[in-house]
Chains A and B, each alone.
Chain A
Amino acid sequence: MTTLATRPSPVTGPPAQPRGLSTAARWARRAPLLPALIFTIAVTQLPFVATLVISFLQWNSLAPENRGFAWLDNYLAVITDPNLRNSVLTTILLTASVVLVSLILGLGLALLLDNKFRGRGLVRTMLIAPFLVVPVAAALLWKHALYNPEYGLFNGILGIEMDWISEMPLIAVIASLVWQWTPFMMLILLAGLQSRPLDAVEAAAIDGASGWQVFRYLTLPHLRQYLELGGLLGSIYIVQNFDAVFTITSGGLDTANLPYTIYQTFYQAHDYGAASAAGVVVVIGSIAIATFALRAVSSLLKNEVTR
């Protein structure tokens, strides 16, 4: 299978760079790349540097006269603030459960759709729909039309009177996100299933392998890459989720994740220093995840090039 590279950089050398290009020729090669590179550095990297600087400042825009260097006070506040610690936990819990559940459901659906049956195209289209509803619209829909204790669809179908959001707030948010992300996982895994070499499956069937054995020893190893990819991309987006938390619970009832908490610290409490320190903490956490994730993607790239 795929071996993880220790470093993402030495991926391959596809068309090798001819040696001895003149300086002008080398710049001609770089020229098309530079606008995108400079733009990306300016708009994505410089703000992070600024965040880093602000994180060492005491800066609350409601108390402008009280501005100054704060050493590590903001970081201490971040580490000792129970709200923030909670939101770290919530972020991990939310991301892990949404990614895992939608991966498992997506795998099940992909396996179902890999069979031939009447109306397969229509079922596929219906299954994709949740992913194509604008996230805020989806969150509003779940909050008001589905979860509402008085006239929501769920209670209407089940014939009960339950206040879903206040009784199980985090699960309510997770369920709506699983609904949105399962189609995405299904699409990736379905693409994986359909690229599976069928002759091996047929050979295994002739050798008397059971359906489960084929799945366990042929399908699943083949899908590993696709599972990794889905998990990685899902994590990147769900760690940053703001729409569902903001709309469904407004961060209440222990559902505030890091993006929501930072938004609140800076947008409502106006504590720029603390918000920045929290932001830097998120970045450090993300770098840890990203280092692992980049290796996974690096193995994908390797496969693509050596294909």
Chain B
Amino acid sequence: MTRRAWRPWGALAWFAGILFFLPVAWMVLTSLHSESDAATNPPSVLAPLTFSGYAEFFGADGGASPWPPLLNSVTASVGSTILVLLLAVPAAYALSIRPVQKWSDVLFFFLSTKMLPVVAGLLPIYLIAQYTGLLDNISFLVVLYTSMNLPIAVWLMRSFLAEIPREMLEAAALDGAGLITTLRRVVAPVAMPGIAATALICFIFSWNELLFARVLTGVVAGTAPVFLTGFVTSQGLFLAKMCAAATVVSLPVLVAGFAAQDKLVQGLSLGAVK
């Protein structure tokens, strides 16, 4: 890594960056073309831009409205994220600040649940939903997504809480601060960015989920990913509209992910990478 070597490396990095970004750029560009310009050979890069793909996606042209699935996705993702935090924050507290006995065994138990394939539990979950009348009900997805993200959240929150210097907690105790005061004045300020990152990751995983949603929902509770798989097969292929749909559905994740790049990687690696 000498000084004269960095120029070609930078050019190579730029080349790789553009190469990896190309499909995303192509998705957005195609979504802004008319259907006839979108499906041409060779691709018409310079065709005039239009929002007709988005207008069609949002139902100006008849067809199923994307609003119910988008709202379902918001409900499932936000709802399960809130539930996850309510369960994970106290659990992480019990695993890091005032640890219970065998805390590492408990921690590994949480992680081990992520290593078992969800598909192996899918059938009983489907049957339970069927017998309890919760098939095609968004609250059932909220519960499932909570269980899907809870282990990750516990690990993350624990690693964030473990970063709080023990001296700070001891000092608070010496000053006579009670549990609530300590949590509010000492733990919360340090843990807040971690909680935010955890919430973001849970939101993304729930927003992206397809298998459970596909099997357990139907007309009423279908989420945005299910809607995406559905409208291609039912209406034939409209490339501009499809790209508009893919862009709209990906937008929340893209925006949130770009905004929190560093926290995202720390979170996705279970807090192991500092």
Contacts and interface: CB of A to CB of B under 8 A. Distances in A.
Interface of A: 8-12, 14-15, 17, 26, 29-33, 35-37, 39-40, 43-48, 50-51, 54, 108-109, 112-113, 115-120, 122-138, 140-142, 144-146, 150-151, 153, 155-157, 159, 179, 182-184, 187-188, 190-192, 195, 211, 214, 226, 229-230, 233, 236, 239-240, 242-243, 246-247, 258-259, 262-263, 266-267, 272, 275-276, 279-280, 282-283, 286-287, 289-290, 293-294, 297-298, 300-301, 304
B146 interface: yes
A280 B38 CA distance: 45
A233 B95 CA distance: 22
Contacts of A183: 20
Interface stretch (B21-29, B58-66, B190-198): B21-29
Nearest to B232: A140
B20 A141 contact: no
B208 interface: yes
Interface size band for B: 35 or more
A133 B210 contact: no
Contacts of A119: 10, 14
A154 to B, nearest CB: 10
B87 interface: yes
B121 A113 contact: no
Interface in B230-250: 232, 237, 239, 242-243, 245-247, 249-250
A129 B117 contact: no
B171 interface: no
B232 A144 contact: yes
Instruction: Give the most central of A45, A113, A136, A246: most B CB within 10 Å.
Output: A136
Contact of B100 (A33, A116, A192): A33
A180 B124 CA distance: 31
Contacts, number: 330
B32 to A, nearest CB: 13
A112 B245 CA distance: 34
A209 B114 CA distance: 43
Contacts of B108: 8-9, 294, 298
A8 B104 contact: yes
B103 to A, nearest CB: 8
B159 A304 contact: yes
A187 B90 contact: no
Contacts of A32: 90-91, 93-94
Contact of A36 (B90, B114, B126): B90
B104 A47 contact: no
A226 B273 contact: yes
A290 B109 CA distance: 11
A33 B106 contact: yes
B143 interface: yes
Nearest to B169: A15
B225 interface: yes
B120 A283 contact: yes
B219 interface: no
Given A130-B23, A266-B126, A112 B12 contact: yes
Contacts of A146: 23, 26
B129 to A, nearest CB: 11
A129 B254 contact: yes
Contacts of A282: 117, 119-120
A50 B124 contact: yes
B41 A150 contact: yes
Contacts of B202: none
Contacts of A236: 114-115
B26 A233 contact: no
Given A145-B26, A286-B116, A247 B229 contact: yes
B97 to A, nearest CB: 8
Contacts of A12: 104
Given A50-B124, A117-B7, A127-B16, 12 more contacts: A8-B105, A9-B105, A40-B113, A50-B123, A112-B16, A119-B10, A126-B17, A130-B21, A134-B253, A187-B261, A267-B215, A294-B108
Contact of A144 (B6, B115, B237, B274): B237
Contacts of B26: 141, 145-146, 153
Contacts of B39: 150-151
A186 to B, nearest CB: 9
Contacts of A127: 16-17, 20-21
A182 B17 CA distance: 12
B93 A115 contact: no
23 contacts: A14-B99, A17-B101, A32-B94, A43-B143, A47-B124, A51-B121, A51-B124, A115-B10, A115-B13, A125-B261, A133-B254, A144-B239, A191-B269, A192-B273, A229-B272, A243-B211, A258-B119, A279-B119, A279-B121, A283-B120, A286-B116, A294-B111, A297-B270
